[in-house]
Structure 1
């Protein structure tokens, strides 16, 4: 009986593989894969960079990752505009930050009927076993960090308005309704399609971004895991740990939203171990940034 079940599983797997291959061929999706790639979060003393223009990012070599269209569930999106994503990561033993860069000819930072925003997200499994990379699956949930261009615009405009209010000592004041957001990054949990849930407490993941000359550069930062953290809804991230990570990109100009996006399936994230302080001959602390 066990032999029969084993044969059935093999047949089902072969049929599934053929269906996926047929779908890729039918929709003319290039067979690119990010599997086997490793994203290294470099250890660095001092504060982690929080802005895309921070010079600390120049000490870390970018990792180019190929992107493909999402064709797993309807509506499929075989022809996304973003085809590659550049990734860098730095941590200092307390916080970790990612710099994500991709080509986008237009800036889309509004979300209204028929108008869609730019965005980027990363996914981390809640546990040791990788779940389905798009939205997780039942009993294999994922923690998703979703940066949104319209949220970034709200955060930036509110910060600028606060500066203007301090300068306006007298005279007429300008009133503008701007949503109050704790961050430009939404912190979510997913357990399969149509299960994406925004966490009640937001703001633990902070974002900062800039668009210039057809290039989005987005930084997302979060504290590393410490004792007492709620690991039921937050991915464990500790120095020395290797875990899975996946990415997605949306181009609002291309009408991309929800499942219509570019994706990079599971690859490995290695958070470099914390290195003890070392002294050179003059007593200065040596830098640990590397460009490898």
Structure 2
């Protein structure tokens, strides 16, 4: 696995989406992530990812840390346990409430604030480290969200991000669901593009230095069959739930998606019952 370090000059950032469109997206995404049982995904499938990101960003005592699209605190809680002064922000208050309980159980002290990654309610340069663990990738207006990450971290501070890659398992899952899913809002970009190093470099451009990007694999041992993976995600994962809801009572299309997701899972399952989900870990310094 290689680490690279080079700069990319961005094009001028595109104009942001209209306020009414942004508000509509905000409401839909809040409902999407509150549906199902995302805490089960965080606890049973990806519990180690946040700590990996915290370690990669050298978070330690006294650091002012913001976790963007924090969900239930997958990265925020390990950062607080490392001694940092942490704010966990997310669009869905239901997820933050679960995170509060998780933090209390683990003895972690941090703040929880409802916030949209497109418009973070924090001052410029307010944090030493800004993190997002498979979170900001789901804010559909990528340049706007990237600009917010850059705005709230101080010059010389660290930005760290984990995102599923387009070619990895979750990227392939989104590609499988795309023909069945509702159309995205105008100007939206697919979440797995945050797992494409060239795309992330273009988003940050010369506003960061020392970019380090590394593809890694998360070993998942939660599923014994593709059908079990499919059924778990149908019940727990907001984007999958929304896709099935869009199909409504079209039994033929539902059966087609059922078969496609089960086949995808079976293709990635190894004989030992594990899968590897590829992600991109990026660390950069605010210029």
Which category describes the TM-score, using the shorter chain as reference length?
Answer: under 0.3
Which structure: greater strand fraction?
1
Which structure: greater helix fraction?
2
TM-score when scaled to structure 2? Answer: 0.27
TM-score when scaled to structure 1? Answer: 0.26
Select the structure of larger CA radius of gyration.
1
